[in-house]
């Protein structure tokens, strides 16, 4: 038995893998064996024979962002006349449309707009909460939280506490990409949030009782070592806090970005390999979400047998949290046919994986 196969056998038996072992699986693990073990481990943590999905809406309230990341297609510089802004009243109208369409949650996020302060976000969250008291509101990625902290001169703990009091229900996993600072500087030379800062925001959110999502974006020029380190860092936080409700795996879509044509695209085998190793490594996170948006329906079906138990959101509207260049769209009947086609029972869920 080779080293990768032996490591996989240990994982199947419930052993916790070290960083070098995770890297070895990413580099040398046999793809079908990885998928089989990941699927088995998934069934131990989730309801066997079921795959879930979410109906919510991603609302990008601003297109202004001071980061100007090379992987983004949407943000604009804060120049008068170049930005798209939504008023609180427009956001409330979009929330109402979401509920009428069967949605159970909202994800609010946009760029780092220097004109929008903490008071503005508190007022908006209160308005949405008071108008729709049964709606789950997921909002503001770690970079947005950190930007508010920096601009207001307040600790992250206080920013999160004030937002939570105003109605914030959870944080998305946006801004994680790859938790390797060399890669982060490459995709955002202006100063992407350091990996330790992204992790610190999520640790503090968990400490305050705010659940969050974990995420990874493949295809930014990262090594297998960087991918393995990313997973181990997420696992360390989960061991400390237990606050991650799910792990979401995306692949970078470069169309329309400054990086278009500069990086090797992620194919289906690459994606499924990392997905399976993610499920094997993240042994304390219950749910693993596959990306039909960046990988398409066929790969999404396969992903449900490579460790994923969830296909994420139908996304009634694109928002700043969407993977750059994502081109696949979905409706409820279609996603349920996709899940059934994979031999599983579809089940709609809420943001934090409660049943609808």
Asked, for residue 12, whether it belongs to a domain, the answer is no
Q: Which is it for strands 136-139 and 212-218: parallel, antiparallel or unpaired?
A: unpaired
Q: What is the pLDDT along the chain (356 residues), one digit of tens a residue?
A: 579 999 999 999 999 999 999 999 999 999 999 999 999 999 999 999 999 999 999 999 988 888 777 777 655 555 545 567 899 999 999 999 999 989 999 999 988 899 999 999 999 999 999 999 999 999 999 999 999 999 999 999 999 999 999 999 999 999 999 999 999 988 876 657 899 999 999 999 999 999 999 999 999 999 999 999 999 999 999 999 999 999 999 999 888 788 888 888 899 999 999 999 999 999 999 999 999 988 999 999 999 999 999 999 987 754 433 444 444 468 899 999 999 999 999 999 999 999 99
The stretches of the chain forming alpha helices (DSSP H) are 3-12, 19-28, 31-45, 88-100, 118-131, 142-152, 156-166, 181-187, 195-207, 224-241, 268-281, 292-295, 297-303, 332-341
Q: Give SS3 for 251.
A: strand
Asked, for residue 83, whether it belongs to a domain, the answer is yes
Backbone angles phi, psi at 297, to 5 degrees: -70, -40
Q: Is the dihedral of CA 235, 241, 245, 248 positive or negative?
A: negative
* Measured distance CA(323)–CA(125) in Å, rounded: 24
Backbone angles phi, psi at 28, to 5 degrees: -130, -5
Asked, for residue 98, whether it belongs to a domain, the answer is yes
Residues 6+ apart with CB under 8 A from 36: none
Measure the CA dihedral 223/227/232/233, to 10°: 90
Asked, for residue 355, whether it belongs to a domain, the answer is no
Rounded to two decimals, the pTM is 0.93
* Measured distance CA(224)–CA(221) in Å, rounded: 10
Tell me 211's DSSP state: -
Asked, for residue 356, whether it belongs to a domain, the answer is no
- Using alpha carbons, list the distances in angstroms from residue 159 to 144, 210, 220: 11, 13, 30
Asked, for residue 17, whether it belongs to a domain, the answer is no
Q: Which domain holds residue 277?
A: 38-349
At residue 350, the pLDDT reads 97
Domain of 268, CATH number, reads 3.20.20.70
At residue 98, the pLDDT reads 92
Asked, for residue 85, whether it belongs to a domain, the answer is yes
At residue 319, the pLDDT reads 44
* Measured distance CA(149)–CA(261) in Å, rounded: 35
Q: What is the total count of domains within the chain?
A: 1
| Closest-CA residue to 281 (of 76, 45, 95) | 45
At residue 278, the pLDDT reads 98
Asked, for residue 1, whether it belongs to a domain, the answer is no
């Amino acid at each position: 038995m080779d080293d990768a196969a032996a490591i996989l056998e240990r994982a199947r038996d419930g052993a916790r893998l070290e960083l070098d072992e995770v890297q070895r699986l990413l580099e040398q693990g046999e793809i079908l064996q990885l998928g089989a073990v990941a699927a088995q481990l998934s069934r131990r943590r989730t309801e066997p024979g079921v795959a879930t999905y979410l109906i919510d809406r991603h609302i990008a309230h601003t297109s202004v962002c001071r980061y100007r990341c090379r992987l983004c297609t949407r943000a604009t510089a804060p120049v008068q006349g170049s930005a798209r802004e939504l008023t609180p009243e427009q956001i409330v109208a979009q929330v109402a449309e979401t509920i009428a369409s069967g949605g159970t949650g909202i994800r609010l996020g946009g760029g780092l707009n220097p004109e929008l302060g903490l008071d503005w976000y508190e007022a908006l969250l209160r308005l949405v909460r008071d108008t729709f008291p049964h709606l789950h509101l997921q909002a503001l990625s770690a970079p947005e939280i950190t930007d508010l902290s920096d601009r207001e001169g307040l600790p992250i703990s206080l920013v999160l506490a004030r937002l939570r009091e105003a109605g914030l229900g959870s944080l998305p996993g946006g801004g994680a990409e790859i938790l390797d600072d060399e890669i982060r500087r490459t995709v955002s030379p202006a100063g992407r949030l350091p990996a330790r800062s992204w992790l610190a925001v999520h640790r503090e959110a968990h400490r305050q009782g705010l659940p969050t999502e974990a995420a990874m974006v493949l295809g930014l020029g990262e090594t297998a070592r960087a991918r393995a380190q990313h997973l181990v860092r997420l696992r360390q936080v989960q061991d400390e806090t237990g606050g991650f409700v799910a792990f979401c795996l995306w692949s970078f879509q470069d169309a329309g970005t400054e990086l278009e044509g500069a990086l090797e695209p992620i194919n289906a085998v690459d994606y499924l390999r990392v997905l399976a190793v993610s499920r094997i490594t993240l042994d304390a996170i219950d749910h693993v979400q596959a990306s039909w948006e960046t990988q398409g329906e066929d790969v999404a079906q396969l992903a449900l047998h490579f460790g994923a138990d969830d296909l994420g959101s139908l996304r009634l509207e694109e928002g700043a949290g969407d993977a750059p260049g994502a081109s696949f769209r979905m409706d409820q009947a279609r996603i349920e046919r996709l899940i059934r086609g994979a031999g599983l029972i579809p089940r709609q869920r809420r943001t934090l994986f409660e049943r609808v």
